[in-house]
Amino acid sequence: MIEVQHLTKHYGKHVALDGVSFSVDPGEVVGFLGPNGAGKSTTMRILTTFIAATSGTARVGGDCVFEQPARVRKRIGYMPENNPLPLDLRVSDYLGFRAELKRLANGKAAERINEVMEQCDVADVAGRFIGQLSRGYRQRVGMADALLAKPDLIVLDEPTAGLDPNQVRSVRHLIRDLAGRHTVLISSHILSEIEMTCDRVVILHDGRLLASGALDELMAKANAVVAEVKTTLADAKEWATELALGQAECVEQPGGYVHCRFANTTTDDVRETIFASANERGWPLRELSRLAPSLEDLFVSLTRGREGGE
């Protein structure tokens, strides 16, 4: 559904994207991740034909976003961050207006509007002004707009930002329901939401691609091992550097112990190595455990220590 090859974008001397390549298959729900300044918004704006790239190619459903922008727009439903909805229109009137802009057939527009209002759970506020709605309801109105024309690709920029836990859960369920019938690309800073809704992730940093692939396969490489050894903080830090098992954090604990957390980016179990090394030094070891990998571990292990910003 999405094919991006060597995508580059310059703003004067600033390089927002530097040769980014990735693909998204039809029906997938893909999380688009990166710290502030990574290039996520720039990539989304290029894919949705809002801005042009400096070089490289980008296709949606086989259509080039630069040479066939009108065809690409027909394939996309887009909900930007802080969706600018008209506060003085009723929900049903706004969706009717959007249906006209998207050139839905007159005979089917009303039926389709009712469908998306039910799907996004806003039918009960159809007659209310958008300005009277909570942020959660406004997000769902934006989702209904994005779904109106039954797009192949739905692009959501921070869809759960600012929502309370119940509203987040509602939006999450809606996104999961879209899987298979639509391809969904989600940009979010809330890693737990990406972990619960997405099949794959694309991670950017400083305009470059750091990782792309199935979420479970990438997370399997985000091993973390915790060891608590009785020694000084300085010796523990030197020891962690010598072990070279990935990025390590060492924090002093009561009783003369140091808590060391190793973020390992391989699938190897390094506990035997840590145990043997601590034993060789004669250090008492009161904890040695392997933590279940998480998307946060993967994200931190890939982005920590790198400089750059958008």
Rounded Cα distance between 59 and 4, Å, is 6
Whether residues 61 and 180 fall in one domain: yes
- Among the candidates 155, 186, 214, a domain finishes at 214
pLDDT digit string, tens, across residues 102-161:
888 777 888 999 999 998 889 999 999 999 998 888 888 998 999 999 999 999 988 887
302 - beta bridge partners? none
302 in a structural domain: no
- Among the candidates 214, 239, 272, a domain finishes at 214
Average pLDDT over residues 15-36: 90
- Which CATH number belongs to the domain containing residue 203 in this structure? 3.40.50.300
101 in a structural domain: yes
Whether residues 134 and 267 fall in one domain: no
Rounded Cα distance between 88 and 218, Å, is 46
- Which CATH number belongs to the domain containing residue 278 in this structure? 3.30.70.1150
User: What is the pLDDT at residue 36?
Assistant: 79
Whether residues 184 and 271 fall in one domain: no
309 in a structural domain: no
Whether residues 123 and 173 fall in one domain: yes
pLDDT digit string, tens, across residues 155-204:
998 888 777 888 788 888 888 888 878 899 998 877 878 888 888 999 88
Whether residues 163 and 284 fall in one domain: no
Whether residues 20 and 141 fall in one domain: yes
pTM above 0.85, yes or no: no
* Domain extent at residue 274: 223-292
Number of structural domains in the chain: 2
Whether residues 101 and 19 fall in one domain: yes
73: Cβ contacts below 8 Å, ≥ 6 apart: 48, 49
User: What is the pLDDT at residue 92?
Assistant: 94
Average pLDDT over residues 226-233: 94
3-state secondary structure (DSSP) of residue 225: strand
Whether residues 277 and 156 fall in one domain: no
pLDDT digit string, tens, across residues 51-106:
999 999 999 999 999 999 999 999 999 988 778 899 999 999 999 999 999 888 77
**DSSP string spanning 68-112?**
-HHHHHHHEEEE-TT----TTSBHHHHHHHHHHHTT--HHHHHHH
Is pLDDT larger for residue 263 or for residue 233? 233
305 in a structural domain: no
119 in a structural domain: yes
Whether residues 124 and 236 fall in one domain: no
User: What is the pLDDT at residue 248?
Assistant: 85
| pLDDT classification of 304: cutoffs 50, 70, 90 | low
- The continuous run of DSSP H or E covering 137 comes out as helix 135-147
Average pLDDT over residues 261-274: 78
| pLDDT classification of 266: cutoffs 50, 70, 90 | low
User: What is the pLDDT at residue 308?
Assistant: 43
Question: Do the strands 55-60 and 63-64 form a parallel or antiparallel pair, or are they unpaired?
Answer: antiparallel
